A and B are shown apart, each in its own frame.
Chain A
């Protein structure tokens, strides 16, 4: 028994040896990438990266996992289990804080320096991948989160015009309501209830109040009269939502705009994918704008690729090779076209993007308009706790604005 086992081992070693030496002489870089871009438009976008990597002589192993939470859980389990992927997707923000703290991610400083990230990216996006002065991820794209989409068919039917500021919003909503249409298409999941709140907070309260609320958790700001106006406006919007909203998905709400059954929807720019899948184009069948106070506050979220530390140095070389491709100007434009986002580099010619993306590029030219999104400012645990409160306030008409503000203040004071 033992003798045959030893013989088997010897034989196995003999057989494996030439294979291993062969592999060492000609290593072909192989990139395993975990991401959650699974819809038609998204997978077309990620194929832009895959094609570039293949063209550069690598093998792209696509590990798409549906759903952000599932994909991140799988990737983190792989890292903790000692089998890290080459690259993994995160949303721009604090999702990878713990991985940085535990020293699981490759430092990207050399790339950031050679490509001059500081001069080509919005400061908030660069800050979102930087911890203690070091870059730990590569930003890929920027998604705007607080767009107001309008259905031109529905507005025409109600005799209303697309609002350009908060004062025009409510008269237009009233006209839509009077015409028997759904004024505000809405989907009653907690994250969209928070998304709508954020649109009002950034739009009426301004970028500074938004940053202070989520980033500094300043109690005085929460108790200020300006914040109170934001809360009241948010509550007022509930009058324009239909009963079916509670059990509706965001893309079905966008579908109501496409069919001309609803007038407006606050949503991120990923909603453009629904419109273009239905053959509609911006500024023609539908409108897109961001409502602001004195100036527009464009809530910038997006995606990054992080590169978990590897034991094998050849794998680290593969990571740097992949990271170097992501910010190539042509790749950035091609990716943004497919994804409906805008490039993370501000020094590119965006004339080939759609009308909404061109508006966004124009706003982002001004640093005052760039406002970091919720995910960039607060850790998921705090965001979740506040989200629960926002959701309770939105759904419970008996909860007064005072109660809501008092409970926000006490939640913000907790350690997160």
Chain B
């Protein structure tokens, strides 16, 4: 009884010592910087951070800022459409590839290819494709469809959908890979049983396979959601927030005000607001998960 106990403590101490640098980095770099950001957001900082406390003034000017409200509604619209479309398309691609098609490896590589490109390259390529004087619209005009219109990237009311288009193109391949792994993990016996019961294929997917793939959906969903929050480089490369302010996003608001506009106070207020929003979404979910775990439903 005594012996294994001692061994347990003895093996833990070095491990804990080894973790100290990582914990220190997490505490000092992440938590420290976060607290500092929150503090700076309550000062009148301009180009350089200062400690002149002004309370919530930066937050009230942030709330009255139309560019900020546009950015927030843009990222909500973008996030909803992007996550839904990427999951749907990724799943459908995975299902198609899972039909034991010929040249599966080739197709998989083709679908995964966009993901290997940076957002900057993706953004530039789509900007040129969608540019009405260079890309698809011009091509249609040149081959005789003179009345064809595809100028969404220069229309303030449509431009955000072009960002969704490019981002879905970029991310669907990755979702497909995750989903394909999930599909391959489904026991073939289940398919046999469903066939014996005379269940149509679509019904098997909807009622049996998809619920079994909850883990794959969660993984893909989390990955996609993080790229929604940090959406920056794609917007910069593709539209640079334009036309006007119609495709601005919160991360770009923070970066522009932090550097170009020398308005550190407002930028940190925006960054803090972003953090609070993410916490407000994640905290209830973590709480729910811990409740489930306590109840023994989750491992």
Chain A interface residues (CB < 8 Å from chain B): 69, 72-73, 76, 80, 95, 97-99, 102, 188-190, 242-247, 379-381, 383-385, 388, 391-392, 394-396, 414
Contact = CB atoms under 8 A, between A and B. Distances in A.
A246 B153 contact: yes
Contacts of A72: 259
A384 B259 CA distance: 11
Contacts of B153: 246-247
Task: Please name the 7 residue pairs, one residue from A and one from B, whose CB atoms are nearest each other, closest first.
Answer: A244-B133, A395-B244, A384-B261, A395-B243, A98-B47, A246-B154, A381-B263
Given A98-B47, A246-B153, A188 B262 contact: no
Nearest to A414: B61
6 contacts: A188-B242, A384-B263, A388-B66, A388-B245, A392-B244, A414-B61
Contacts of B266: 381
Given A243-B154, A244-B133, A388-B67, A73 B243 contact: no
Interface in B205-262: 239-246, 256-257, 259-262
A359 to B, nearest CB: 31
Contacts of A388: 66-67, 245
Interface of chain B, main secondary structure: loop
A242 B241 contact: no
Nearest to B260: A69
B156 interface: yes
Nearest to A394: B244
Nearest to A191: B260
B134 interface: yes
Interface residues of B, number: 33
Contact of B242 (A97, A189, A381): A189
A99 B48 CA distance: 8
Contacts of B47: 76, 95, 97-99, 380
A391 B242 contact: yes
B260 A380 contact: yes
A243 B256 CA distance: 26
A247 B266 CA distance: 28
A121 B127 CA distance: 44
A173 to B, nearest CB: 19
Interface string B47-64: 110000000000001000
B245 A391 contact: yes
Nearest to B127: A247
In the complex, which of the residues B153, B245, B257 has the most CB atoms of chain A within 10 Å of its own CB atom?
Answer: B245
A280 to B, nearest CB: 23
A190 B260 contact: no
Interface in B120-141: 127, 130-134
A395 B261 contact: no
A381 B67 CA distance: 13
